[in-house]
Amino acid sequence: MNKIVKEDVSVFAKDFALSGQLTKSTFLVTGATGLIGSSLIRCLLALDEQIKIYAPVRNLKKAEALFDEWQKECIQFIECDLVEYDYGLLEKIDYIVHCAAPTSSKFFVEHPVETFEIITDGTKKMLQLARQKQVKGMVYLSSLEVYGELHDDSCPIKEDFQGYLDPMSVRSSYPMAKRATENLCCLYSSEYNVPVKIARLTQTTGAGIAKDDSRIIAQFARLAAQGRDIVLHTTGESARPYCYVTDSVSALLYVLLKGTSGECYNVANESTYISARGMAEYIHEYVNSKCLVKVELADNMGYAPPTKLRLDTQKLKSLGWSPRYGLKEIHERLIKYLKSLD
């Protein structure tokens, strides 16, 4: 395990207050090779080595390479198509955390049908499994993109608010699918009493990101580590909060164990709210002054429409959750991690 990742997991295991509720539990975690899925599994196993993990994956070798030998003893990888696999073959499942979904804007634009179907079909399969296995709890990972286009950030966005989404836009394949599956979760909770909760995550980052992670904060941290200029391909008006990966993992588990079925929860650190342009300038001023900020506008790169998403997280905090990592700490940990890969 990478040393920075190991440090993060150790801090999480030491501080997580609900660990006693998970003793000897069995989890099914989709998206186990992604940042959140892999981090969740590491954190769970750090809490209790008697936790068992089922992890359906597309590429077994890629999945096994992410985990240490002792961890793999607690994980049963299932190389399969997420929708086609017969999960009835598995023994009892206590909890499902459904992380799997496309995450690349370029993929959303180039493969919009596949984007929509992967999200909706995969989530329906997990909801059916949760019903069949009578799980204690399920969390579905949604996105702040369900809020659509907003340009007034004077009031934080609570979970009952919805902004505009253009159903005729190809780029809407991702947020429209997320909206549809949130509703499906609500329906399964209401009609079949499936104990599913929805986590609307802001952009999550941290130690463990892929080397080719193309999201803004990852790109900017990489440039900061190298002392290179930051080039914006938009005006940088879009703004959102961020969340460090182990803070997100903690939030998911709080929602899983203490959240209300059929409801959704914003997951973010409100104090990190910043625009893309603001983050570039923050890096120049506070992280690496060698990184100059330049603007070179470019079209057709798959970016979401400019929007300002200041999330309200009081509903999540009412469960007892609080974030550890602010913007400064996020950049410090992320840059340390990127440098450790050299």
Which of the four pLDDT bands, split at 50, 70 and 90, describes residue 105? confident
% residues pLDDT > 70 (the chain): 98
List the domain range (segments joined by +) for residue 82: 3-205+243-271+308-325
In whole angstroms, what is the distance from residue 307 CA to residue 140 CA? 24
> 105 lies in a domain?
yes
Q: Mean pLDDT across the stretch 130-136? A: 98
> Tell me: the pLDDT tens digits for 271-320?
999 999 999 999 999 999 999 999 888 765 556 678 899 999 999 999 99
Answer yes or no: is 226 within a domain.
Answer: no
pLDDT attached to residue 302: 55
Indicate if the pLDDT at residue 83 is higher than 90.
Answer: yes
In this structure, what CATH number is given to the domain that contains residue 131?
Answer: 3.40.50.720
pLDDT, one tens digit per residue, over 202-239 is 999 999 998 888 888 999 999 999 999 999 988 888 99
Q: Is residue 220 part of a domain?
A: no
Task: Give the residue-averaged pLDDT of 46-53.
Answer: 92
This prediction has a pTM of: 0.94
Establish if 23 belongs to a structural domain.
yes
- Report the length, in residues, of the chain: 342
Q: What is the DSSP string of 137-199?
A: EEEEEEEGGGG-B----SSPBPTT---B--TT-GGGHHHHHHHHHHHHHHHHHHHH---EEEE
Tell whether 298 is covered by a domain.
no
> Beta partners for 157?
311
Pure H helices in the chain: 3-15, 35-47, 60-65, 69-72, 105-110, 112-133, 173-192, 216-226, 245-258, 276-282, 314-317, 327-340
338 in a structural domain? no
Q: What pLDDT was estimated at residue 233? A: 84
With respect to residue 19, please indicate whether it lies within any of the assigned structural domains.
yes
171 confidence band (pLDDT: 50, 70, 90):
very high
Domain count, the chain: 1
Instruction: Please give the order of strands across the beta sheet that includes 95-98.
Output: 75-79, 52-57, 26-30, 95-98, 137-143, 196-201, 264-267
